[in-house]
Amino acid sequence: MCRGCVSQFLLRDEFHSGGIAGLLGKAPGMPTRRAFMAYSVAAASTLTAVRVAPAFAADEGADLILRGGTIRTLPGAPVASALAVKRGRILAVGDEGALAGLKTNATRIVDLGGRTLLPGFIDPHCHTIAASLIFELLDDVGYAKYPTRENLVAHLKQEAASMPKGQWIVGANFDNLLQGGEFTRNELDEISSDHPILIWYINLHDACVNSEAFKIADIGEDVGELPGGGHFGRGADGKLNGMVYEESAMLKFAVHFLGKITPEVAAKAVTDFCRHTGSVGNTMLHEPGTIRSDWIEPFAKLSNTLACRTSASVMFDDMKGLTPWRSLGLGKGAPVDNSLFSLYGVKIVGDGSNQTETGAQTKPYLNSTSKGSPNFDAAQVKQMVAEVKAFGLPVQIHCNGDYTVDIALDAIEAAYAGSTDHGVNRIEHSTMARPDQILRMQKLNVQPSFLMNHVRFYGAAYRDQIFGPERAVFMDPAGACVKAGLPFTLHTDGPCSPPGPLALISTAVTRRCIIDNSVVGPDQAVSLDDAIRAVTIDAARQLGQGDRLGSLENGKEADFTILENDPYKVSPDAIADIKVSETWVAGERKFAA
């Protein structure tokens, strides 16, 4: 069965009135989640004092000069004190005095007031559209809001008491590892027997429902496995226990609580989500697979109204939908229609989630005989990757388990033979990649992207419940990449973990699990320089944008993030709490605290 790293069912035609293809970017006055649910029934190059970009004449002067703070152009490069912008690109960077000659009567001056300016942060794996719709339409019942089971149950009971009888209660982002274990049908029945209830897990593969939900969906005890691998959990007595697995099974319920998602609702959702991701420091998000090719043109139109740049790859089954844009040179990250939206490559989902023991491993999970299983066998993956190569694009393969990494690397080696002519080939998550696989990636010019929030939130659970101490110390092995000279990136996999590059940076440096304050895999910690590279220049290069984004160099796009404190002057654990002051994209302020 195919288990994507994020469910596709919110993107299906039956839930869209006019389709997301109708997005026009109109945000004001759009309905809230509550209103919707009611409606739906429920370089390291050395910088000199001044270097003027060849695209501009120095005597034209700057449109914008930022000064009076610490400007970190690229990890390892000299610190500057001023930056000049012309027509959305960096004109010069260096000492404030040396840039003074670029000031004209029309130049806007921004005083940094001692703040720190860095290249804009990039999340190279964030499901922008799916996350937007989840946060807009569903009730967030995750760990950040309800850290104990008691808090969560009390909230759900309050929801039930405040709603008309029969209205759906639908929660998203429930974390079984952090919020008290699996829900059961009986537990949800105790919360309410008058309302159908569905609690969607943060891994997006599973949900739990109550008896009223089974009744409305017309699912009886004799139900079997559904097409596409959907199925239902059963207790020791053989009866349905409330657990719902995979998309085709969850669709049985979703058709009853999701009304038609209008273009206005979808546009508001994406606009709000991008505003939030901008507020935590991002200037670019990459959508790995959860966009359809027929949405590309309208999404490009919407992109110019958003608080950050956006980028996307499509799923393998939709690859040929990229045909109209092939001439752009997709693996090089070319913008679509001169917008702030670009295309990259093709996504293949190799396995599932380690949290649900569906990531495919070479050794069994802790206290289990199960190793998980890949979504496709080796021959199938090899054929799929060969087709991506023949189409002229780079491939991104979701691999949480080390067995799946083996299959993926075999396929990439057979098709690309180490070439990056079409763009950087990536292993998404690479959560349990082994030492030999990191070395093999380096040899094949394949790069991993790590969901470092695995360590931040699940490090203790991976160590104590899922893999055991010996295997957990090598989870998300960024340190091994540094030793091998292999570039890597850090991502959130939104909505599967909270947006925020500063938390990723902090965790990569400390390897601290905030659940029990333990350090998991200290040998895999990296330097602050390496961690910042992973969300700036190396992230840009993984998306074909290294010549345009990721560092503050003359001629590059003026994307940057301004922080209230310098990450190099606070303790590593405090980096996650640094306040984001502003974000700028193409020389325009997109967010200000």
Q: Which pLDDT value is given to residue 327?
A: 85
Please say whether the beta carbons of 396 and 312 come within 8 A.
no
pLDDT tier, 6 (very low <50, low <70, confident <90, very high otherwise):
very low
Q: Which pLDDT value is given to residue 358?
A: 85
- The 3-class secondary structure across 372-415, one letter per residue, is CCCCCCHHHHHHHHHHHHHHCCCEEEEECCHHHHHHHHHHHHHH
What does residue 321 show for φ and ψ, rounded to 5 degrees?
A: -65, -15
* Separation between Cα atoms, residue 228 and residue 347, nearest integer Å: 19
Q: What is the pLDDT of residues 190-205, one digit of tens each?
A: 999 999 999 999 877 7
Paired with 582 in beta bridges are 562, 592
* Separation between Cα atoms, residue 307 and residue 271, nearest integer Å: 7
Cα 102 to Cα 24, 72, 79, 85, 586: the distances in Å are 38, 20, 19, 10, 19
* Mean pLDDT confidence for 543-560: 97
Please say whether the beta carbons of 288 and 348 come within 8 A.
no
* Separation between Cα atoms, residue 252 and residue 93, nearest integer Å: 57
Q: What is the pLDDT of residues 253-284, one digit of tens each?
A: 988 988 777 888 889 999 999 999 999 999 99
Here the tokens at position 496 are 């599967």
Q: Nearest to residue 567, comparing CAs of 123, 118, 122?
A: 118
Q: Which pLDDT value is given to residue 32?
A: 40
Here the tokens at position 528 are 């602050």
* Separation between Cα atoms, residue 433 and residue 305, nearest integer Å: 39
* Mean pLDDT confidence for 87-104: 96
pLDDT tier, 48 (very low <50, low <70, confident <90, very high otherwise):
very low
When mean pLDDT is compared across 33-37, 402-406, 438-442, the lowest value belongs to 33-37
Please say whether the beta carbons of 210 and 197 come within 8 A.
yes
DSSP 96-156: HHHHGGG--TT-EEEE-TT-EEEEPEEESS--HHHHHHHHHHSEE-STTT--SHHHHHHHH
pLDDT tier, 54 (very low <50, low <70, confident <90, very high otherwise):
very low
Domains of the chain: 9-42+127-257 (3.10.310.70)
Q: Which pLDDT value is given to residue 64?
A: 98
Rounded to two decimals, the pTM is: 0.89
* Separation between Cα atoms, residue 501 and residue 484, nearest integer Å: 24
Here the tokens at position 341 are 């939206």
What does residue 454 show for φ and ψ, rounded to 5 degrees?
A: -55, -45
Cβ neighbours for 591, distance < 8 A, ≥ 6 positions apart: 275, 278, 279, 307, 580, 582, 583
The reply to whether omega before 495 is within 30° of 0 (cis) is yes
Q: Which pLDDT value is given to residue 333?
A: 81
Average pLDDT, the chain: 90
pLDDT tier, 21 (very low <50, low <70, confident <90, very high otherwise):
low
